[in-house]
Amino acid sequence: MKVQAAVAVGKEQPFIIKELELDEPRAGEARVRMVASGVCHTDAVVHDEWYPVPMPAVLGHEGAGIVEAVGPGVTSVVPGDKVVLSMSTCGACEYCLSGHPSFCVNMWPLNFGARRMDGSTAFTDENGQPVGSHFFGQSSFAHYSNVAERSIVKVPDSTPLEILGPLGCGIQTGAGTFLNVLKPWPGSSIVVFGTGAVGLAGMLAAIASGATTVIAVDIVDSRLEFAKTLGATHTINSKNEDAVARIKEITHGGAHFALDSTGNKVVFVQMLNSLRPLGHGAMVGAAAMGSEAAVDVGALLMTGIKLSIVLEGDAVPQTFIPRLISLHEKGLFPFDKLITKYRFEDINKAFADSASGVTIKPVLVY
C-alpha cells in the first residue's frame, strides 16, 4: 500500500514527506495506523548521524495507533486494538528473560539497524529502492508502518492515543529510572539534572513515589520555572550557582537520589558529588562516544554511593506502560503537561522547537 512518511535523508537536511510503498506485515508484525508519535532526542541524534543508522530511513520511535492487520503468528493484538509502541527486543536472551530487555543482546540491530533481521525493509521509494524501516521496531514517522510485535503494548480502549506515544521512550526512560531503579521512598530527597522530557518525567514519578524534597537543575530559567509548576520544591540554575554546594545545603548533606538526563560529562560528576552517603544516582543521558569524566575515585570510597546506568527506564514496556497510564488516569502522573502537539506535516518545526528548547516534548498528530 502507498503511505505518507517523513524520510530522513542525512545530516542537517530536513525530513522530506513523501509517498512510499509499504509491504505486507510479515510473521511477528502488525500493520499499525499511527494516530500520533512523539519526537525524542534519539531521533534528533540519529538524524544528525551520531550513530551509523543507514539513510534514507523513516525514524520515529514513540508511536501510538491502531492495529489494522496482523501477520502470521501474532497473538498479542488483533485489528482494532489501540497500541503504544516502544523499543524492539528479542524476547529470548538472558537480559530479555530476566526482565531487563533494554540490554537485549540484539538491541542495536533491532532498534538502530533500520532493517528487519533478514535485511529487508518494509518501505521502498518510487524507484523501488529500499528506505529504512523498523527503527525501534516501528518507524513511527509514517501514517502506517509494519511494527514488530515485541514493540507493541496494547492499551485500554478508553485511553487518549494522541498523548500516549511518548510513554514508549522518553517518558518511560525518566519515570522508569525512578520507579524501577532508584525507588525513592516517601519523604526522600531527589535531584534531576536537566529538565527536558526525561528529567521532568522522572521528577513527576519521584513525586508520585512520595519524594518531598524535589530539586530541579538546569541552565534555562524558563525551564526551571516550569519545573516549579510541576512540583519542584527547589530550582538551581547551575550557570549562576554551584549546584553541588546548593544541593548539599538544601538537603543537609546531599540528596538520597539523583538522575542525570543531560549526557554532559561535567553534570555527570556534579550528580555523583551531589549525593549523600549511600545515595543512589542514575545516568540516562546520551553522551557522545569518547566523553570522559574526571571522577575523584579516592573521595568516592568514603561515600558508599551507588551509580546505575539506565536505558529505557529498565522497563518491560508491556507491563510498565499500563502502570504509567493508570497513574496518569488517577492524576498522579500528569506527563501530558510536557507535551506540545504539532501536525505531522510540521515535523521539521517540531524538531527545531525541541532543539531550541521552545518545546519539551513535541508530539506529531497524523
Question: In 3D, which of 234, 214, 204, 211 has the Cα closest to residue 330?
Answer: 204
Question: Is 138 a residue that touches Zn ion (CB under 5 A)?
Answer: no
Residue among 133 and 172 whose Cβ is closer to Zn ion: 172
CB-side exposure of 229: number of CA atoms within 13 Å? 9
Instruction: Report the phi/psi class of residue 323: left, alpha or beta, with left for phi > 0 and alpha for psi in -120 to 50.
Output: alpha
Q: Please identify which residue in 6, 8, 90, 175 interacts with Zn ion, judged by CB under 5 A.
A: 90
Single residue of 104, 152, 201, 339 touching Zn ion by CB under 5 A:
104
Give the nearer residue to Zn ion in terms of CB position, either 69 or 93.
93
Q: How far is the CB of 348 from Zn ion (least distance, A)?
A: 18
96 binds Zn ion (CB under 5 A): yes
The answer to whether 131 and 145 have CB atoms below 8 angstroms apart is no
| Closest to 309 (Cα-Cα) out of 287, 326, 329 | 287
Closer CB to Zn ion, residue 96 or residue 284?
96
Reduced DSSP (H G I as helix, E B as strand, rest coil) percent helix, strand, coil of the chain, to 5: 35, 25, 40
Q: CB-wise, 214 or 360, nearer to Zn ion?
A: 360
Q: How far is the CB of 136 from Zn ion (least distance, A)?
A: 7
Please choose, out of 83-91, 187-195, 200-208, 246-254, the segment that lies near Zn ion by the rule CB under 5 A.
Answer: 83-91
Distance in Å, CB of 85 to Zn ion, minimum: 11
Q: How far is CA 366 from the centre of its chain?
A: 20
Q: Residue 39 interacts with Zn ion (CB under 5 A)?
A: no
Contact 232, 253 (CB under 8 A): no
- Asked if 93 is part of the footprint of Zn ion (rule: CB under 5 A), the reply reads yes
Among the listed ranges 33-41, 188-196, 220-228, 247-255, the one in contact with Zn ion (CB under 5 A) is 33-41
Q: Is the dihedral of CA 344, 348, 354, 356 positive or negative?
A: negative
| Contact residues for Zn ion, defined by CB under 5 A | 40, 42, 89-90, 93, 96, 104, 169
